[in-house]
Amino acid sequence: MIAAAIDTGGTKINGAAVDEEGNILKKIRIENTGRTGAFIMDAYRKILRELTEAFPIKAVGIGAGGRIDERAGKVLYAVGIYKDYIGLPIKQLLEEEFRIPAAVTNDCRAGLIGEKWKGSAAGYENVTGIILGTGVGGGVIDHGRVLDGTFGGFGEIGHMILHPGGRLCTCGQKGCAEQYLSGTALWQIYNEKTGSESLSSGYEFFGRIQDKDGIALEVLKEFQLDLASCVVSCANLLDPEVILIGGGLTDTADYWWDGFTAYYRELGNRHTQNQKLIRAARGNDAALLGAARIAFDLYKTRHHQ
């Protein structure tokens, strides 16, 4: 059996055909430039048309941005950067057009599911995932079950308040973790500290780290401390076996992992020392694998009814 999988990132929308062993058979990438519900749906349709023409696709799984009503496959809430996106009935629209089952979850939750299925969280039953990318997201697996909450927001770690009264977040709060722990935050904070607009990406920021730029190193040290604070809070609150750190920012973990884990040990208590910190293993494929997994599960549920 082959499923279509779609991962909606802040800068790109990735699609793939995936088999039941977790092999990725084909990949498609569309730059996420539209920032509207219509653009996102058009990208989903384009990916699905290409995949259904090439493979006998039985179901589609989607990791979408925002808080998702997973039963209805509908967007309940998203930050203000997306226009005409809240309320989008993704599942209904795709099932009506393509006549295959469609499963929808949050994109970060999809990444966690992918790591649980075919990555570094395999074999663990209680996992808290913190996903560091363009923004910050998360997810929680409790006794093998992904928790979704009342309004699709369980594990929205990016909007826990890390610094009360701090930097304004796209969600309307001030001081959210996302404003300090995302790839976007690193270069924006660097620009603020230098009083310039010299950087416009996380890649450029880590170029400054390679050059031993003093202000960049200061920003990175603050990031390590903030991430450790966030993770210690999650460890105490959620009591997982492991805390998985994933997302695009983990590509640069060689620059910050040791300092972060040292702060974690320093800030935590005897209880938090029992919880392992692990890095995601599947990179950008994690969310595609998670999206495929929920597609397979939905297909089997319907097929056996």
Provide CATH code, domain 124-279: 3.30.420.40
Contact 288, 14 (CB under 8 A): yes
**81 confidence band (pLDDT: 50, 70, 90):** low
Token pair of 296 as six digits: 């397979």
Give the tokens for residue 58. 């039985």
pLDDT at res. 288: 98
The helix or strand, by DSSP H or E, that contains position 244, with its residue range, turns out to be strand 242-246
User: 153 or 187: which carries more pLDDT confidence?
Assistant: 187
Say if residue 293's pLDDT is above 80.
Answer: yes
Question: Can you give the pLDDT at residue 11?
Answer: 85
The pLDDT value recorded for residue 187 is 98
Assess whether pLDDT exceeds 60 at residue 305. no
Region 298-302 average pLDDT:
93
pLDDT tens column, 109-126: 999 999 999 999 999 999
Q: Provide the pLDDT confidence category of residue 62 given band limits of 50, 70 and 90.
A: very high
What number is the average pLDDT over the span 160-178? 96
Among the listed residues 136, 144, 119, 123, the one whose alpha carbon sits nearest the alpha carbon of residue 284: 119
Q: What is the dihedral of CA 146, 109, 44, 150, to 10 degrees?
A: 60
User: Would you list the domain boundaries of the chain?
Assistant: 2-111+284-303, 124-279
Nearest to 126 by CA among 114, 106, 137, 112: 112
Other C-beta atoms lying within 10 Å of the C-beta of residue 225: 18
pLDDT of residue 20: 97
* Same fold? 2-111+284-303, 124-279: yes
- Is the pTM here over 0.85, yes or no? yes
**CATH match of 2-111+284-303 with 3.30.420.40:** yes
pLDDT, tens digit, 9 for 90 and up, residues 178-225: 999 999 999 999 999 999 999 999 999 999 999 999 999 999 999 999
Q: Which residues contact 302 (CB under 8 A, 6 or more apart)?
A: 101
Distance CA 268, CA 298 (A): 39
- pLDDT-based confidence at 3, cuts 50/70/90? very high
For residues 45-58, give the mean pLDDT: 98
Share of the chain above pLDDT 90, in %: 91
